[in-house]
Structure 1
């Protein structure tokens, strides 16, 4: 269903037309979306928190990415599904020529449900099971082996397929940890000396083992590295790509042919959470790579990218109702409905993940008036549930709305189930070219309390309180527990 900004305006877009890419600048579109969402009841007393995605912004970001890497080298752009695990978003990106990078069976099923072909899907995970690997080889999903033990599993599967007269069936490669250093956020840095990801290139004997592994396996044709993430400088990312490119050149030289034909450079472009500017841009990174690793772009290698946060962060935001305001110790506090359940990283690591907060009245109009230093708190039952600390904003009042900008990636799409708070609805928005009105499409419905109960085992009531039906110790009725057979009870 597509909903416009007027209370009675429900219906499908005329002729099934796609939302246009052209429109106002991002901030203007966001302000219009808050106003329209408040008017339509998508956020407010009946829907205290919601995620909103700028459809035109997503399309534009995908096109900027493709333009930045255009040239002689073939390029497969994939989207890191963990950054926005929403099927309609993956559909939209797929339509814009961006496939999927997946790191779990669930993410792979999301990509499939979105219609993303196996030829544009890459499986990366440090803990792939034999079943996951077998499925990837059978369906043609590219795999990057994370370690020697995983490579041995792939060997066995390749032999199994060969015994049945079949080729390996999927593009196969190896993830390399170039061990180039740490960014400003240690937990986000994947190319440290002791990172859990990939084969550590600079460990003693590792490079020789990697080269020998490729020479022994003609079907091993890819190298993969992923160094970037929030807090990692572009120069460190480019150096990782240079190191892996040099490794590919060595393998091909010793093989006497171009065995490695694809270099997967990962993603991880940092996002500017401090302001409106999109910096660094995809073009800035691509230009740095061209200067640092010119051979990567001469057409001999296919380039694979796996950007996530940088494609979606600035294309979405969380809007939430302010429920109460209070003063404690002289500090003004606005208590609302966006907290750790949607802004998990910001709440637990505010120095690393600060967010810009905008204040709106109940009608979705930007608040004006003198700035007041205040905290913006969430609904979770612990003291640190603050999305903004000591922030200067127009004085917030009950019924107002706050918007957390730059939260289109990782925030509302991967919520944290604290206090059994239900997942918020997510809506896409765009401006209709003919009417000029903001239109909405539901991307994910809000989670109901019945669904919260189902996830919390309500269907298994009585499983732990006794064997059989009848009254419990306090007189409540017990249901019959599910009998689980173990080795000792199944005799």
Structure 2
């Protein structure tokens, strides 16, 4: 459910005309709905009521400061994977003790920044990283709270690029060697192993892989208790999917009920790291048709939004629903929706049935609130898009559109 709807054939973001926004702020343009963000966070977080839990939004899904601030004010913690994301979360007013730090390649400087801030814990992905955290913490006279990211070798049944919990993936420690890692961590003076972590993938449309992983983690927890290691936190990661096309992902309440049955008597505090399920359908990208073009085999809509603005279709072959911002009731044709970048892989949709549109008219690309702007780039020296948050009839410029001057300001 989201707050983007057509009224008398014209698209609105909450109470604001999208055409008005596009005319004022230009295209390509990202628009986020504050009401949708609030609804999605509340629906997710409330699904785990009755469990001691912390919902940490996955900053990599959408790192805009205004969006992070909005979620932080609702009680969200943050799941980060870089020093830059830590900086953003703190700037957005999120308390450091509600931040967990994931990621396979934490540098010493980033570890130091996180320890200085006083984050909740590091999700450690290798023994080498454990030693580095211990070394930095010792140098600072601190004790670092950690969990190990345990790779349960569970198939999440998702795109291979966003599958993260199988033995062939780069993430975490295999479950067999994790016991040795915990034993090592328990003997280090500047490490406190307080948690277990698992993240098996993204855009999951069934809770079965989650539950399979959870059963393995709970069995592993019993072994840790036998070793005298006191685990306080169980971080189950994120990955719950959304509907882009015909997917039917489970509602968070279904996930919550399943977890309550398995975790109610464990004494563990549960950490969850949703990203896409909160932000994905809370945002759209608006793009303008620059030219129409046909050849003997294809019809093209050439738009001003490109793979540098929204890379998911090019990178993953992902589907995003596309529609007219203003409906004209014309007949449909089969189009490739392509951008101006000099790559054959620059497309937003292929072989898509869409109404015939004309140059100067605008299209809306739905489900762009997660892994949209945050994965954008300046490829082909294209300034990045403007981001807006609409809250009722209020419009917040969450990020100004980049200028040509911005493109070169750090170059000598």
Same fold (TM over 0.5): yes
For residue 156 of structure 1, what is the aligned residue in structure 2?
135
Name the CA distance, whole Å, in 2 between partners of 1:215 and 1:452: 48
User: What is the SS of the residue equivalent to 2:367?
Assistant: coil
Contact kept, 8 Å, 1:264 with 1:304, in 2: the verdict is yes
Deviation at 1:112, TM superposition (A): 0.8
For residue 76 of structure 1, what is the aligned residue in structure 2?
54
2:79 corresponds to which of 101, 122, 136: 101
Deviation at 1:34, TM superposition (A): 9.3
Please identify, of 441-450 and 325-334, the stretch whose mean Cα deviation from structure 2 is larger. Answer: 325-334
Name the CA distance, whole Å, in 2 between partners of 1:147 and 1:279: 32
1:210 aligns with 2:190: no
Name the CA distance, whole Å, in 1 between partners of 2:256 and 2:234: 14
Q: RMSD of aligned C-alpha atoms?
A: 2.4
1:190 aligns with 2:164: yes
1:414 aligns with 2:384: no
User: What is the SS of the residue equivalent to 2:359?
Assistant: coil
Inter-CA distance 247–452: structure 2 relative to 1 (3 Å threshold): same
For residue 348 of structure 1, what is the aligned residue in structure 2?
315
For residue 326 of structure 1, what is the aligned residue in structure 2?
293
1:67 aligns with 2:34: no
Name the CA distance, whole Å, in 2 between partners of 1:404 and 1:239: 35
Q: Which runs of 5+ in 1 are unaligned?
A: 1-22, 432-437, 461-491
Name the CA distance, whole Å, in 1 between partners of 2:209 and 2:312: 23
Deviation at 1:289, TM superposition (A): 2.8
Inter-CA distance 24–234: structure 2 relative to 1 (3 Å threshold): closer
For residue 365 of structure 2, what is the aligned residue in structure 1?
404
2:68 corresponds to which of 90, 104, 115: 90
For residue 279 of structure 2, what is the aligned residue in structure 1?
312
Aligned ranges for residues 103-142 of structure 1 at < 5 Å?
Answer: 103-141=81-119, 142=121
For residue 252 of structure 1, what is the aligned residue in structure 2?
225
For residue 287 of structure 1, what is the aligned residue in structure 2?
257
Q: Which runs of 5+ in 2 are unaligned?
A: none
Contact kept, 8 Å, 1:429 with 1:441, in 2: the verdict is yes
For residue 387 of structure 1, what is the aligned residue in structure 2?
348
Contact kept, 8 Å, 2:86 with 2:114, in 1: the verdict is no
For residue 13 of structure 2, what is the aligned residue in structure 1?
33
Name the CA distance, whole Å, in 2 between partners of 1:261 and 1:386: 46
2:149 corresponds to which of 150, 175, 182: 175
User: What is the SS of the residue equivalent to 1:320?
Assistant: strand
User: What is the SS of the residue equivalent to 1:229?
Assistant: coil
Name the CA distance, whole Å, in 2 between partners of 1:424 and 1:248: 46
Contact kept, 8 Å, 1:45 with 1:399, in 2: the verdict is no
Q: Which deviations, in whole Å up to 9, do the C-alpha atoms of 1:263-300 show, x marking residues without a partner?
A: 1110011121015x873221122223334xx1x23360
For residue 474 of structure 1, what is the aligned residue in structure 2?
none
For residue 240 of structure 2, what is the aligned residue in structure 1?
269
Q: Which deviations, in whole Å up to 9, do the C-alpha atoms of 1:356-382 show, x marking residues without a partner?
A: 10113xxxx223222222221112122
Deviation at 1:449, TM superposition (A): 1.0
User: What is the SS of the residue equivalent to 2:300?
Assistant: strand
Contact kept, 8 Å, 2:5 with 2:13, in 1: the verdict is no
Contact kept, 8 Å, 1:179 with 1:200, in 2: the verdict is yes
Inter-CA distance 381–36: structure 2 relative to 1 (3 Å threshold): farther
Contact kept, 8 Å, 2:14 with 2:391, in 1: the verdict is no
Name the CA distance, whole Å, in 1 between partners of 2:42 and 2:174: 34
Please identify, of 420-429 and 242-251, the stretch whose mean Cα deviation from structure 2 is larger. Answer: 242-251
Contact kept, 8 Å, 1:355 with 1:388, in 2: the verdict is yes
Q: Work out the number of aligned pairs and report it.
A: 407
User: What is the SS of the residue equivalent to 1:31?
Assistant: strand
User: What is the SS of the residue equivalent to 2:319?
Assistant: coil
Contact kept, 8 Å, 2:312 with 2:371, in 1: the verdict is no
1:55 corresponds to which of 34, 37, 41: 34
Aligned ranges for residues 438-449 of structure 1 at < 5 Å?
Answer: 438-449=393-404
1:225 aligns with 2:198: yes
TM-score (norm: length of structure 2): 0.92
Contact kept, 8 Å, 1:44 with 1:399, in 2: the verdict is no
Contact kept, 8 Å, 2:167 with 2:174, in 1: the verdict is yes
Contact kept, 8 Å, 1:34 with 1:319, in 2: the verdict is no
For residue 479 of structure 1, what is the aligned residue in structure 2?
none
Deviation at 1:305, TM superposition (A): 0.9
Q: Which deviations, in whole Å up to 9, do the C-alpha atoms of 1:288-344 show, x marking residues without a partner?
A: 3334xx1x2336011111111111000000001111111112422111111201221
TM-score (norm: length of structure 1): 0.78
Name the CA distance, whole Å, in 1 between partners of 2:249 and 2:154: 23
For residue 483 of structure 1, what is the aligned residue in structure 2?
none
For residue 201 of structure 1, what is the aligned residue in structure 2?
175
Deviation at 1:410, TM superposition (A): 1.0
Greater Cα radius of gyration, structure 1 or 2: 1
Name the CA distance, whole Å, in 2 between partners of 1:373 and 1:34: 30
